[in-house]
Amino acid sequence: MTISTYAERIVILTGAGLSAESGLGTFRDKDGLWTRYDLNEVATPEGFARNPVLVHEFYNARRANCLDARPNAAHDALARLQHSRPSHVTLITQNVDDLLERAGAPAVIHMHGQLTRALCAACGYRWNAPRAMDHAAPCPACNAPATRPDIVWFGEMPYHMERIDTALQAADLFVAIGTSGNVYPAAGFVQEAAAHGAQTLELNLEPSATVSLFDAARFGRASRIVADWVAEILGAPPPR
């Protein structure tokens, strides 16, 4: 199926593949984070309750990597696209890095939280994360020694789901970029958007687990295929 280059409302979902060429590891590829770490120990509320020091070490290392990383051509292209039509391009990311913002994207929805934010497990207050976070550091609001990364762990509810559902239901085009399609609810967005009439496109290095649900797919490195796709969209005249 040919995907129209003109779409009024575009909803984009990004995953770890978007930031791979910036040097941030993916999760499920060869050498991915979940081949080296047990996600039950570092990415669940139960793991955090068992060993908060280990969990903070894991996210402190990821925060340090993120601070050292730079946006790549795919982040730049998506930021340019959102800038061109701020009210018609919704950028949803599963990534906890801030590379889209640093590329200049004006409004990124972080459904899995952000490495740059801290969350008090006692009162829910949020603040800017220090470079190295410590479980015993007191919350600035309630003073409880219950600091955790503001990251959505397995078994927790992703953020901003109402806003995301509204955008998916209004979308003319849904595009998933650099995500393996293994983690729900994000992996189900393609079906939700399609059920409401959107065309759907996957841009990925390799076919995802859900590739058969998309109308079309293009494969290659994000820095090339995302930049090419954005150039097509920005060059497209509106239909007569």
Which residues are CB-contacts of 61 (< 8 A; sequence separation ≥ 6)?
A: none
Q: Compare residues 61 and 85 and give the one whose CB is closer to ligand OAD.
A: 61
Strand order in the sheet with 10-14: 108-110, 89-93, 10-14, 173-177, 199-204, 216-219
* d(C-alpha 8, C-alpha 170), whole Å: 10
Residues noted as catalytic: 112
- The CB-nearest residue to ligand OAD is 17
Q: Tell the smallest beta-carbon distance from residue 45 to ligand OAD (Å).
A: 12
Q: Tell the smallest beta-carbon distance from residue 50 to ligand OAD (Å).
A: 17
* d(C-alpha 232, C-alpha 234), whole Å: 6
Q: Compare residues 10 and 27 and give the one whose CB is closer to ligand OAD.
A: 27
Q: Tell the smallest beta-carbon distance from residue 144 to ligand OAD (Å).
A: 24
Going 214 to 215 to 219 to 222, the CA torsion angle's sign is: negative
Q: Compare residues 145 and 188 and give the one whose CB is closer to ligand OAD.
A: 188
Residues found near ligand OAD in the complex (CB under 6 A): 15-17, 20-21, 26-29, 32, 43, 94, 112, 152, 178-180, 182-183, 204-206, 208, 221-222
